[in-house]
Structures are given as structure tokens and as C-alpha cells.
Amino acid sequence: GAVVSQHPSWVICKSGTSVKIECRSLDFQATTMFWYRQFPKQSLMLMATSNEGSKATYEQGVEKDKFLINHASLTLSTLTVTSAHPEDSSFYICSAPQGDYEQYFGPGTRLTVT
């Protein structure tokens, strides 16, 4: 099946700094990618839809100036958490659709803000 990678797998940063997370589709092109956040013992929450060549679409309540998304190419989307705070600590997961309905998920990035 299709493979989606994320980098880094985990990151610890200090409060106030910015962190960039990469999502890559390794063997297929993705004009759209999705970014999710998952807090412990909770469901995946869609943050935004990343669109290649255009602006990302953010879900209600997600600050677009804080969570910067860039879909630089058909295989790469990046999420930058700016001025991170401890409450941003979470598991961030990207996914890319392929075909009519399949969604392939990246392995996730665990962010800890101290």
C-alpha cells in the first residue's frame, strides 16, 4: 500500500519556539493532505486541509497564524507550530488520500513543549 512518512517522529521544544513537522507521500502524489491532532485518549481532530498550490483550509477554532501549513509540492506538506506552548503538546498526524476513498496516515509526530 501507499506510504506516508513524517519527520520528526518526536520533538521536545521550549515554550515560545517554533517547530516544523514534515509529511511526505513516498510513492504517490497527493494534491491534498490532512493534518490531525490527537490528545491522549481522545479522537483524532482535523486541524486543516493542506492543498498543493493554494492556501490551506483550517477547521473552526484552529488558529491559522499559529499553525502554518505549506504544501510545497505534490509529495510534501509541512506544519509549523509557531510560538509553541505546553498546551500545544500533542500527537500530530498527517494523512493523504489515494484513490476514491483510501486514506494513508503518517506515523505521527509527538510534540512535547516544555
- Interacting residue ranges for other proteins, rule: CB under 8 A: 1, 34, 42-46, 91, 93, 101-108, 110
Q: How far is the CB of 37 from other proteins (least distance, A)?
A: 12
Min separation Cβ 42 and other proteins, Å: 7
Q: How far is the CB of 32 from other proteins (least distance, A)?
A: 10
Output the smallest distance, CB 41 to other proteins, in A.
8
- For other proteins, give the closer residue by CB, 86 or 101: 101
Written as nine digits, the cell of 96 is 493523504
CA neighbor of 28 nearest in space, from 96, 84, 101? 96
* Segment (H or E) for 76: strand 76-81
CA 87: distance to chain centroid?
Answer: 17
**Residue closer to other proteins (CB basis): 34 or 67:** 34
| 3-class DSSP assignment, residue 88 | helix
41 contacts: CB under 8 Å, gap ≥ 6: none
**Cβ nearer to other proteins, comparing 42 with 73:** 42
